[in-house]
Amino acid sequence: MDIRQLRGIREALDGFVREFDDCIKTVPSRKHFSTYVSGQLSDLDRKSIEPMALEAGVAPRTLQEFLSLHKWDEEQVRRRVHEIVRDRHAEENATALIDETGHPKDGEKTPGVQRQYCGALGKVDNCVVTVHVGYATDSFHTLLDGDLFLPEHTWAVDRERCRAAGIPDTVTYRPKWQIALDVLKRTMANGVRYKYLVADEAYGVAAEFRRQTAELGLVYVVEVSCSLRGWTVAGTLGDDIDARRVDALWPRGGPSWEMFHVKDTDKGPVVWDVRAARFHPSEDKGLGEEGWLLVARNVLTGEVKYFLSNAAADTPVETLLHVAFSRYHVEHLFREAKGETGMSQFEVRSYRSLMRHLILSTVSLLFLNEQVEPLRKKNPLVDPVPGPSDRRSAA
């Protein structure tokens, strides 16, 4: 990158940071805000407070106090991120991306830390888990918002421990699907609009999550467990005893397999065989709402995925499939947030500092993705959702 490009990015970053001036009233805090975002976007190997402060020539303690003590409106900063995406990146087929991520941590003082499954490590270990909503269009994506998962038995019931970490009494245990809904509603209250929603089976298996998502007017395409039970519309609808697992719906016959080209990668085309049927899931109250069940089988590996959707009966299967597989870029966003902005590299012991760090990380990631958006217009992140005249079936 030459001097002109570096200067252009610096000028762009300065202008971007100024969009948050009304969220941060004092000049010292505005400077720290700029220092923090610049540090997260730097090429430092470690993007925790001390190396970012030393790189900028400021005392680490002052940057720590910016997170923990300074009076600035982090909620307004969060709203501004939503407003920027709403105003600059709106698209008819925008997709909400729901997922969680783990942040490995030592010790017992970081809010929410405990031994639990950590996706970043692929195993159970000491970590903090946060739940996020991302935003994706054909040419742009970013993380919009996130919140802390407060483990029920090690934190939520121990209010003294919570108070020692600055966790308000109003912050209690919520299942991850409820956190996701709360964060999603917060973005929508600030004007962000989506058409679709995708999530993995940890969220897809929660009937209440699916119901409330549908009430928000979103078309969900969520992965579900192979053990989900229900009835196909063409089959017998009756008592729960008649419900079948989705992996055992068709011991013989059933819908024909159809081959679809999902996307191209550096390793070649990704192709899945799919069979689709209208389906009623079995829920606590009995018969669930009719929707789509997709059974997708990877042609090369044999991996099988199951998806449930509330899309209308006349929705093309290839549209649902492309939406379902667009979930891959929330994983891409987590890699960007952790690798490029240091989202997991927080070293804090207070709830306020942690939440401010997460919000600042979305600010930094938004700037990063706005800078690369022109390149993505030439090479979309996701194949555009096909219409009736743009069938991508490889059959």
Tokens for 173?
A: 């245990």
Each residue's pLDDT tens digit, 36-48? 999 999 999 999 9
**Measured between alpha carbons, how far is 124 from 115 in angstroms, rounded to an integer?**
6
Average pLDDT value for residue range 145-160: 96
**Measured between alpha carbons, how far is 395 from 393 in angstroms, rounded to an integer?**
5
| Residue 238: pLDDT over 60 | no
Which of 198, 229, 231 shows the shortest CA–CA distance to 213? 198
**Measured between alpha carbons, how far is 231 from 252 in angstroms, rounded to an integer?**
15
Which amino acid is it at 119? G
**Measured between alpha carbons, how far is 333 from 211 in angstroms, rounded to an integer?**
26
| Residue 350: pLDDT over 50 | yes
Cβ contacts of 360 within 8 Å, gap of 6 or more: 33, 36, 37, 40, 77
Domain-by-domain residue ranges, the chain?
A: 3-200+328-376, 219-325
**Measured between alpha carbons, how far is 1 from 14 in angstroms, rounded to an integer?**
19
The CA-based angle 277-224-382, given to 5 degrees, is: 85
Asked if 169 and 159 count as a contact pair (C-beta separation under 8 A), the reply is yes
Asked if 168 and 351 count as a contact pair (C-beta separation under 8 A), the reply is yes
The CA-based angle 371-364-328, given to 5 degrees, is: 75
Each residue's pLDDT tens digit, 307-331? 999 999 999 999 999 999 999 889 9
Which residue reads 């919140």 in tokens?
A: 147
Which amino acid is it at 177? W
Q: How confident is the model at residue 375 (pLDDT cuts 50, 70, 90)?
A: low
Measure Cα distances from 261 to 79, 224, 246, 273, 277 in Å.
38, 22, 23, 9, 19
Each residue's pLDDT tens digit, 257-289? 999 988 777 888 888 999 999 999 998 777 889
Q: What percent of the chain has pLDDT over 90?
A: 79
Q: How confident is the model at residue 114 (pLDDT cuts 50, 70, 90)?
A: very high
Which residue reads 């969900």 in tokens?
A: 220
Residue 388: alpha-carbon gap to chain centroid: 29
The CA-based dihedral angle spanning residues 281, 100, 322, 142, taken in that order and rounded to the nearest 10 degrees: 140
Q: How confident is the model at residue 140 (pLDDT cuts 50, 70, 90)?
A: very high
| Residue 394: pLDDT over 50 | no
Each residue's pLDDT tens digit, 242-262? 789 999 999 888 899 999 988
Which amino acid is it at 246? V
**Measured between alpha carbons, how far is 198 from 220 in angstroms, rounded to an integer?**
6
DSSP state of 120: T
